[in-house]
């Protein structure tokens, strides 16, 4: 009888360790994704914006390309927001598992829970800029990028419809911004 109880306890501990490890690996994956999504948006949108206004002479083609850049950026904002949600769930899950196991808590965030500091392995209170979440800063940056693309869409339509002299599509020389 006691061997069955020990076997169940070992299985339970093994399952707990497996779940903890999987949760931690998911957290590491999502942390990497937080840095990759804004980088992709900035590089691709920057290349699209520069090449569109430098090499595409037809105004409505520029607008279509800008709409595609806008859709890409909005999609990456949604990806970043979902990733941030999963990171918060995983951090709270790991903290709950550590508390459940009777262990000290690993300090994973700059906004830790209001627990007794003796519950943490090591704790340093965050300073001024450290209080901000990198993901939230990146989301704000990408929202600014969306606003920039929308402004460029509006300006592209206004200037080329009201001032046809700015439209270089009738020119035989490619329009380059220098």
Q: What's the average pLDDT block by block, 10 residues per block, for the chain (178 residues)? A: 59 85 89 86 90 85 90 91 90 86 77 66 71 80 90 79 52 44
Residue ranges of alpha helices (H) inside 56-176 are 59-100, 134-162
For residue 121, is it within any domain?
yes
Give the sign of the dihedral formed by CA 71, CA 147, CA 131, CA 99.
negative
φ/ψ (deg, to 5) at 71: -65, -40
Domains held by the chain: number: 1
For residue 172, is it within any domain?
no
For residue 173, is it within any domain?
no
CA distance 8 to 2: 10
The pLDDT of residue 178: 40
For residue 29, is it within any domain?
yes
For residue 176, is it within any domain?
no
φ/ψ (deg, to 5) at 58: -90, 125
Taken as a whole, the chain contains a residue count of: 178
Residues forming beta bridges with residue 120, ordered by sequence position: 105
Residue 74's contacts (CB-CB under 8 Å, 6 or more residues apart) are: 146
Question: What range defines the domain where residue 34 resides?
Answer: 2-166
pTM: 0.71
Q: Give residue-wise pLDDT tens across range 97-140.
A: 888 888 877 777 666 666 666 677 777 777 777 677 777 888 88
For residue 178, is it within any domain?
no
For residue 158, is it within any domain?
yes
For residue 174, is it within any domain?
no
């Amino acid at each position: 009888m006691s061997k069955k109880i020990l076997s169940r306890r070992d299985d339970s501990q093994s399952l707990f360790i497996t779940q903890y490890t999987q949760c931690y690996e998911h957290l590491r994956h999502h942390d990497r994704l937080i840095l990759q999504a804004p980088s992709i948006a900035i590089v691709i949108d920057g290349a699209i914006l520069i090449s569109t206004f430098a090499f595409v002479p037809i105004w409505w083609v520029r607008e279509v390309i800008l709409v595609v850049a806008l859709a890409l950026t909005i999609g990456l904002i949604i990806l970043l927001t979902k990733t941030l949600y999963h990171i918060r769930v995983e951090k709270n899950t790991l903290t709950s598992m550590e508390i459940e196991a009777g262990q000290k808590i690993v300090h994973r965030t700059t906004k830790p829970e209001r627990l007794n500091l003796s519950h943490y392995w090591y704790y340093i209170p965050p300073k001024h800029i450290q209080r901000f979440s990198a993901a939230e800063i990146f989301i704000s940056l990408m929202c600014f990028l969306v606003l920039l693309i929308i402004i460029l869409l509006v300006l592209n339509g206004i200037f080329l419809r009201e001032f046809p002299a700015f439209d270089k599509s009738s020119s035989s020389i490619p329009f380059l911004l220098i």
